[in-house]
Amino acid sequence: MPQFLEKILSKWGYSRKGLLQSHASGGSDPFVIWRASKKVSVDRAFEVYAGWVYACIRAIAEEIAAMELRLFKVGSDGDEEVFEHEALDLLDAVNPYQTGLELKYSIAAHLETVGNAYIYLEGVKSEKDKPTALYVLSPAKIKVVVNRNVFPTAVEKFQYRTETKVYEFKPYEVLHIKYPDPSDPFEGIGTVQTIAQWIDADNYAMEFNRRFFLNGARRGGFLESENAHTPEQLDY
């Protein structure tokens, strides 16, 4: 039976051993993101932002982006809506390159993918400063530095790495929004990071179908035997 399986798999360019190894460790297989761990890396999660993963995240992000933000002043006689305020202006035009709609979309997309959204608050130099602009930071380039020598443990700073430089920000300079990870109080966990095996299965199924149709919708290959068989056995 093992030889039979290997011969069948070889018709599609696979080997039984290779498939088992690929599933267990990922290797260099472009379709695999699962690495036998609870949470795949941020870089790998962003690499599969395509297909149905993209469609699902886009549907969620567009709903979040379409939400209208409203501001209310809380008073003893009830809540009064505020229609003009600097906070509303900032959330509507967050920086020279992005709108408030893009900000909300990016936050939702980052949360669904990797469970973390980081917003740099420009102009904030202390806990009481007001931001003059908001910039979405890539979760793939940021590192949360935690001081574990104190109790309770606290975030010491954020490091943001670009192609040429590493920037360091105080905790009050970055707004960190996350989907809580029960095993890590300082970094979140995204939906894509936790359904890696589902994505793997779908990637393999899509590639199988693609090759099937490239082959003229015919499954190539043949069955052969090293032993003689009777006509009855061949019919079976």
Measure Cα distances from 182 to 63, 94, 115, 156, 235 in Å: 26, 32, 12, 21, 58
pLDDT per residue over 34-60, tens digit each?
Answer: 555 567 889 889 988 888 999 999 999
Query: Is residue 89 within a helix (H) or strand (E), and if so which, with residue range?
Result: helix 86-92
Say what the pLDDT of residue 227 is: 75
State the pLDDT confidence band at 1, using cuts at 50, 70 and 90. very low
Entry pTM: 0.74
**Which H helix or E strand runs over 207?**
helix 196-214
Q: Give me the pLDDT at residue 132, please.
A: 96
